[in-house]
Structure 1
Amino acid sequence: MYHTWMRYFTPSPAHHRLGLVCLGVGLQHGALPVVGPRVLDHHVAVVISAGRGWFRGADGRRRTVTAPALLWLTPGVTHHYAPDPDTGWDEAFVDFAGSATAAYAELGYIDPDRPVVALTDTATARTAIGRIVRAARQGNPFLEVETAAAVHELLVALRQVRAGTGSGGHPVLQALARDAFQPLSVAEHAARHGMTPAELRTAVRRGAGCSPKDYLLGIRLGRAKELLVGTELPVSAIARRVGYEDPAYFSRLFARRVGTAPVRFREQQCRSVPGGFTDRVPDPARPPTIPPCGPPDDARLGEARLSGG
């Protein structure tokens, strides 16, 4: 005995140009029938919340599946799977496609080489799938865009709950982020963690889907943008604050990645704000707000916006 609910969608060419579209969603539980062997022309994420079973991919090797787990079904690859006929399993699946899948695979969010992935839990993934289920109501004019947005959310959720990744993220990434503004080479960062440069590259690629150099560059340029917009510091001082002793080198990096020079970026972004700017980054848990009691004067308004109080 098993129970199944599913819906399938046919997004228009305009929706496909969003880069990612949802083609279907389903919720099933019980002693479900065997799937395959078959080959699909799109991706499917099968999230197993309870139970156990087996999976056989293109290599012919039979793998045990024990919840919580994820099955990646990738285009053009043979797959064959089923729950244990005695226990069954609880699954939710999402079919999706689009040009953005290539970038997600490059960044490590989709892993064609690991068709069976152990998860720490499935709650956040099921929340994203629930958004797709609710969007699937009849007559929803936002169906394709809502479901596409939820697929992005699902891919992030599945990346976060892979077994072996703590809730706070990869410790090497946390350490790199903490030390990102120090003028250290990749080799020096690796030595701080007792790793070779190759080992550090492998760890960062696994955790962030990019090289250590690109990971550090993203953090540094993000902070540089904040300082360009929020302060009147010269570009040379900002370069030093984010880890570059050579302002000219920093400016070339900035222009190559951002598409415009630091000075031009500042000119485009700067605005007049009552109370002026601050270089202190507010606590994300206490975003800048206007006090609810009475109309504050200009000074208090500026302070409220800057301090988060």
Structure 2
Amino acid sequence: MHHTWMRYFSPAPVHHRLGLACLGVGLQHGELPTVGPRTLDHHVAVVVSAGGGWFRGPDGHHHTVTAPALLWLTPGVPHHYGPDPSWDECFVDFTGPATATYTELGYIEPDRPVVPLSDATGARATVGRIARAARRGNPLLEVETGAAVHELLVALRRARADLAPDGDPVLHALARDAFQPLSVAEHAARHGMTPAELRAAVRRGAGRSPKDYLLGIRLGRAKELLAATELPVAAVARRVGYDDPAYFSRLFTRRVGMAPVRFREQQGRTLPGGWSDRIPDPDDPPMIEPPHAT
């Protein structure tokens, strides 16, 4: 005995240009029939939230699936799977040019078709929103469901059992020390790691190199200082870890697309005397309260 609900869509070419287009959504539970062997031309994320079963890829290797778990079905890759004897699942079919970027960042893992999850609640909630948006006659269907696929990939990344929701201790330590003038090798030594081990850890947790991860944090803080204070550019450079203001300016310009002084002209929000002692702490953002009824 099994229960199945599903909807499929045909987004227009313009919707594919949004980056991700949702092609279908479904929720199923019980003694479901076996899927495949088959090969698809698009991506599918299958979230198993209860029960268990098995999965076989093109190499014939048998993977045991124990909920909560994620099955990645990727284009051109044969797959064959099913519950044993039953499971609860939800799935989302999607496509679009952004899938290549999400794969590069490690959010989609073609080489790991079965991914243990710590909790499927967040992913199922996002799939539920896609299902509700799938009502017939919804004029926002393609945009609303496409946006939710982006949210689903974040929820699935956050739910991976091998990663803490907001990154592992190495990433937290790098963020804490980001403004110190340390090389990647020096950061690695602080953690008792080789540079190669640090690169692998940051790539696994953040989908980028340590150098790029640190640069993103440094430039983000530099933008805040440029927009909210009257500190000279040289002082901003020193505060984010660069002793050479000329090097900082070249780096900022190359990455941001404009010089620090130009960024300040566009984004500056300073008052006479500066806001140096009133810059919000990035780790303690202000709460935006809804307006009170009158």
Q: TM bucket by the smaller chain?
A: over 0.9
SS of the residue 2:71 aligns to: strand
What is aligned with 1:23?
23
What is aligned with 2:2?
2
> Residues 290, 246 of structure 1: CA spacing in aligned structure 2 closer, same or farther, 3 A cutoff?
farther
What is aligned with 2:73?
73
The alignment status of 1:196 with 2:220, answered yes or no, reads no
What is aligned with 2:253?
255
Q: Displacement, 1:221? A: 0.2
SS of the residue 1:84 aligns to: strand
Q: Displacement, 1:60? A: 1.0
Match of 2:160 among 162, 182, 187: 162
CA offsets, 1:187-210, max 9 Å, x none? 000000000000000000000000
SS of the residue 1:19 aligns to: coil
Partner Cα separation in structure 2 for residue 12 and residue 242 of structure 1: 45
Give the unaligned 5+ runs of structure 2: none
Matches within 5 A, 1:238-277: 238-271=236-269, 277=275
Matches within 5 A, 1:63-102: 63-85=63-85, 88-102=86-100
> Residues 133, 277 of structure 1: CA spacing in aligned structure 2 closer, same or farther, 3 A cutoff?
same
CA offsets, 1:114-153, max 9 Å, x none? 0000000100001110110110111111101110111011
RMSD (CA atoms): 2.0
Q: Displacement, 1:276? A: 6.1
What is aligned with 1:303?
none
Partner Cα separation in structure 2 for residue 45 and residue 205 of structure 1: 22
Q: Displacement, 1:96? A: 0.3
Q: Displacement, 1:11? A: 0.6
Give the unaligned 5+ runs of structure 1: 295-309
Q: Are the aligned partners of 2:36 and 2:79 in contact in 1 as well (CA < 8 Å)?
A: yes
SS of the residue 2:52 aligns to: strand
SS of the residue 1:77 aligns to: coil
Q: Are the aligned partners of 2:229 and 2:275 in contact in 1 as well (CA < 8 Å)?
A: yes
Matched positions, count: 292
| Partner amino acid, structure 1, of 2:36 | G
Partner Cα separation in structure 2 for residue 109 and residue 168 of structure 1: 14
SS of the residue 1:51 aligns to: strand
> Residues 275, 23 of structure 1: CA spacing in aligned structure 2 closer, same or farther, 3 A cutoff?
farther
What is aligned with 1:14?
14
Matches within 5 A, 1:73-222: 73-85=73-85, 88-222=86-220
Q: Displacement, 1:268? A: 1.1
TM-score normalised according to structure 1 size: 0.90
Partner Cα separation in structure 1 for residue 5 and residue 267 of structure 2: 49
Partner Cα separation in structure 2 for residue 247 and residue 21 of structure 1: 43
Partner Cα separation in structure 2 for residue 37 and residue 119 of structure 1: 25
Q: Displacement, 1:169? A: 2.4
Partner Cα separation in structure 1 for residue 225 and residue 289 of structure 2: 21
| Partner amino acid, structure 2, of 1:280 | I
Q: Displacement, 1:58? A: 1.2
Q: Displacement, 1:167? A: 3.5
| Comparing 166-175 and 58-67, the one that deviates more | 166-175
| Partner amino acid, structure 1, of 2:42 | H
TM-score normalised according to structure 2 size: 0.95
Matches within 5 A, 1:218-229: 218-229=216-227
Q: Displacement, 1:288? A: 6.3
